[in-house]
Amino acid sequence: MSSYNNKHSRNFGFDSKEHLEVITAAHAVWITRFIDAGWDAYFFTVLFNHISGSREKRMIQMHQEIEKMYNRLATRMVRKPRSPKWKGLLPIGLFSPDFPVRKFGLGEGGTIEDVSINDGLHMHGILLANRWGRIPVGLHEHFREKMDHYRTPKIRRIRIEPIRHSPEEVVGYALKGLVKRTISIDDIGVLNWGGDGVRPTLFSELVRFYNTRDRNFWTSAKANGIQFLRPV
């Protein structure tokens, strides 16, 4: 279900910050369309116990643990997650590595452990879910009741908050490492592109328009309400 690239090409070959902002904006528009269709959106922060190895090896293991968490959720949401009949009801996850800003790393309930274990490396994520399957409550309530089911020996803590407004800002925050170039596009893991495993057409079109240097793209994008996000 995951489209995370375990090879980690570390490809920073984008030619401008604007290009990275387009990629972030494309994800935001894609997620907003699901919200508009009645899906619920949640912001996840996943903190881990110590993982040995390089930064790249830690990222790989963190994505593997996120996928375990996702698979457990999928089996709770639908009876047969791998059945084509249920693929449209599966949750959709977008997870990205993040590092704390040292000056502010202990804010918002953070601890010394949060900025010292794994050099502060953790995962932020946006998870889309619906209540048409076997979980009739919000995921923030579900995880609060079933947290032990989702924690693994390597996952130390899971924070989850409903996204009730400004989803584009939350997506920009979750993917801020991309624009800051502390991560590459290969480090972003997507779990289920809306049931078909295919990168959405809208995402591809946004990036293609930028790559062809269509001068009308920027004007038309802003006219259609697409914001080119800058992380807070």
**pLDDT tens across 85-109, in order?**
888 889 999 999 998 754 434 445 5
CA gap 152, 156 in Å, rounded: 8
Least confident among 43-57, 80-94, 121-135, 185-199: 185-199
The predicted pLDDT at position 158 comes to: 96
The predicted pLDDT at position 218 comes to: 44
Least confident among 14-23, 72-81, 126-135, 173-182: 14-23
Q: In angstroms, what is the C-alpha Rg of the chain?
A: 17
**How many Cβ atoms sit within 10 Å of the Cβ of residue 171?**
28
The arithmetic mean of pLDDT across residues 4-12, rounded, is 44
Q: Would you say residue 197 lies in a domain? A: yes
| pLDDT at 156 > cutoff 50 | yes
Q: Residue 2 has what DSSP assignment?
A: B
Q: Is the dihedral of CA 172, 177, 183, 187 positive or negative?
A: negative
Q: Would you say residue 175 lies in a domain? A: yes
The predicted pLDDT at position 41 comes to: 96
Task: Compare 222 and 147 and report the one with higher pLDDT.
Answer: 147
The mean predicted confidence, pLDDT, of the chain is 79
Per the CB < 8 A criterion, the answer to whether 85 and 195 are in contact is no
| pLDDT at 208 > cutoff 90 | no
Strand order in the sheet with 189-191: 155-162, 40-48, 122-129, 92-98, 189-191
Q: Would you say residue 160 lies in a domain? A: yes
Q: Would you say residue 226 lies in a domain? A: no
Instruction: Name, in order, each residue with C-beta under 8 angstroms of 72's C-beta and a sequence gap of 6 or more.
Output: 149, 150
Exposure string (b/e) for 111-132, b if CB count within 10 Å is 16 or more? Answer: eeebbebbebbbbbbbbbbbee
Q: Would you say residue 196 lies in a domain? A: yes
Q: How many Å separate Cα 84 from the centre of its chain?
A: 24
The arithmetic mean of pLDDT across residues 153-171, rounded, is 94
Q: 160: which 2 tokens?
A: 């989850």
**Tens-place pLDDT, residues 15-71:** 578 778 888 888 888 888 899 999 999 999 999 999 999 999 999 999 999 999 999
| Alpha-carbon distances of 24 from 30, 65, 155, 167, 188, rounded to whole Å | 10, 24, 26, 12, 11
The domain total for the chain is: 1
Q: What is the model's pTM?
A: 0.78
The predicted pLDDT at position 108 comes to: 52
| pLDDT at 192 > cutoff 90 | no
The predicted pLDDT at position 213 comes to: 41
The boundaries of the domain holding residue 165 are 39-214
* H-run or E-run covering 48: strand 40-48
Per the CB < 8 A criterion, the answer to whether 117 and 50 are in contact is yes
CA gap 159, 100 in Å, rounded: 15
Q: Phi and psi for 202 in degrees, rounded to 5?
A: -60, -45
Q: Would you say residue 33 lies in a domain? A: no
Q: Would you say residue 63 lies in a domain? A: yes
The arithmetic mean of pLDDT across residues 179-206, rounded, is 72
Q: Would you say residue 15 lies in a domain? A: no
Q: Residue 14 has what DSSP assignment?
A: -
CA gap 224, 94 in Å, rounded: 24
The predicted pLDDT at position 215 comes to: 40
CA gap 219, 49 in Å, rounded: 46
